[in-house]
């Protein structure tokens, strides 16, 4: 089987520098060889990283309403969607390494072009479902899901030039949430979106949570896994821009990826929000290593 790795050195969906160094750090840590050792035919075009760095530089990228860097986020994600869709047209699995989570706009749009019925499993401390109207921070990494759903306020240029709503509320399952803005809580409740917060992980254990996640998804449906490393506890993945205490353990995070791998239905994976410039060197190395090990787990690495 083939996996094509996409590295997007993009930080424009949030204010902290360094998250754009995520892809290079994971590649340097040996990600490609590790996936090859699992038996995958691995492709990676490093030129994509340069092209995306160019796209991320947009002149006169002033705020639209509260949104920061709308031109950069839109231009990069238009490209991301094309890349992901092309990989899946070739029958390969796409593995996207971020970069910040605004990249979810593009990755999920790409998956939905090839697999309109795909389910989205979003593993995160945050819901990332703010709209341009509800966002307090103005950071677009807090908004990708609302654009994918086509919520009020998202049908605006430059985004609506290339993206259209492609996701239904029942397509999404969240795992690991613990820092949800009040207006996001309203959206999640109103739309009846399936959410397993850290409270649910505490109450039932990750095994039963994953049984319920996969029951909601249903058998034989393509799955897109979007994994924000801040879903993990900050002691486990310290080098990330918006850490929140009380997160998933190392094993809980990997179990999620392993359980999804076992379905055989995975078509796309995002590993985002690794920021090697934050915390000390050892913390950065630990977080990068976890980006690699989560990728391996999602691609079928087993403990035995």
Question: Contact residues for Mn ion (CB under 5 A)?
Answer: 101, 124-126, 128, 138, 228, 230
Report yes or no: 131 and 152 within 8 Å, Cβ to Cβ.
yes
Tokens representing 192 are 């009846």
Q: Is 226 in the site for ligand ARG (CB under 6 A)?
A: no
Binding letters toward ligand ARG, positions 125-164, x by CB under 6 A: -x-x-x----x-x-x-xx----------------------
Catalytic pick from 128, 171, 179, 301?
128
Q: Closest separation between CB of residue 145 and Mn ion, Å?
A: 9
Catalytic pick from 68, 126, 224, 254?
126
How far apart are alpha carbons 269 and 200 in whole angstroms?
23
Half-sphere exposure of 136 (CA within 13 A, CB side): 5
Nearest to ligand ARG of 20, 301 (CB atom): 20
Catalytic pick from 4, 20, 78, 141?
141
Q: Closest separation between CB of residue 137 and Mn ion, Å?
A: 6
**The sheet that has 172-177: what strands, in order across it?**
41-44, 2-7, 93-97, 266-272, 223-228, 119-123, 172-177, 194-197
How far apart are alpha carbons 55 and 87 in whole angstroms?
20
Q: Is 230 in the site for ligand ARG (CB under 6 A)?
A: yes
Nearest to ligand ARG of 83, 128 (CB atom): 128
Report yes or no: 26 and 291 within 8 Å, Cβ to Cβ.
yes
Nearest to ligand ARG of 3, 175 (CB atom): 175
Binds 181: which of ligand ARG, Mn ion, none (CB < 5-8 Å by kind): ligand ARG
How far apart are alpha carbons 9 and 52 in whole angstroms?
7
How far apart are alpha carbons 37 and 265 in whole angstroms?
21
Segment 235-254, which members bind ligand ARG (CB under 6 A)?
Answer: 242
Report yes or no: 154 and 113 within 8 Å, Cβ to Cβ.
no
Tokens representing 243 are 């850490």
Whether 233 is catalytic: no
Q: Which residues are at the interface with ligand ARG (CB under 6 A)?
A: 101, 126, 128, 130, 135, 137, 139, 141-142, 181, 228, 230, 242, 273
């Amino acid at each position: 089987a083939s996996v094509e790795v996409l590295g997007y050195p993009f930080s424009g969906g949030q204010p902290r520098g360094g998250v754009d160094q995520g892809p290079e750090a994971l590649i340097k840590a040996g990600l490609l060889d590790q996936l090859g050792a699992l038996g995958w035919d691995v492709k990676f075009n490093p030129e994509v990283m340069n092209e995306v760095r160019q796209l991320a530089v947009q002149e006169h990228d002033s705020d639209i309403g509260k949104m920061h860097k709308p031109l950069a986020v839109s231009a990069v994600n238009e490209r991301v969607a094309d890349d992901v869709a092309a990989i899946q047209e070739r029958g390969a699995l796409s593995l996207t390494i971020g970069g910040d989570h605004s990249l979810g706009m593009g990755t999920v749009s790409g998956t939905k072009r090839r697999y309109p019925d795909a389910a989205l499993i979003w593993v995160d401390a945050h819901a990332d479902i703010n709209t341009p109207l509800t966002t307090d921070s103005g950071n677009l990494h807090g908004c990708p899901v609302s654009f994918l759903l086509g919520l009020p306020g998202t049908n605006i240029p430059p985004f609506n030039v290339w993206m259209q709503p492609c996701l239904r509320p029942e397509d999404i399952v969240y795992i690991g949430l613990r820092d949800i803005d009040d207006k996001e809580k309203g959206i999640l409740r109103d739309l009846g979106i399936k959410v397993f917060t850290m409270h649910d992980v505490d109450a039932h254990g990750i095994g039963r949570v994953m049984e319920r996640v996969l029951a909601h998804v249903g058998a034989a449906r393509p799955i897109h896994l979007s994994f924000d490393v801040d879903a993990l506890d900050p002691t486990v993945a310290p080098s990330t821009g918006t850490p929140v205490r009380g997160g998933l353990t190392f094993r809980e995070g990997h179990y999620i990826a392993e359980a999804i791998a076992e379905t055989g239905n995975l078509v796309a994976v995002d590993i985002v929000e690794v920021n090697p410039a934050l915390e000390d060197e050892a913390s950065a190395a630990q977080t990068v290593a976890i980006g690699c090990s989560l990728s391996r787990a999602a691609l079928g690495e087993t403990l035995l």
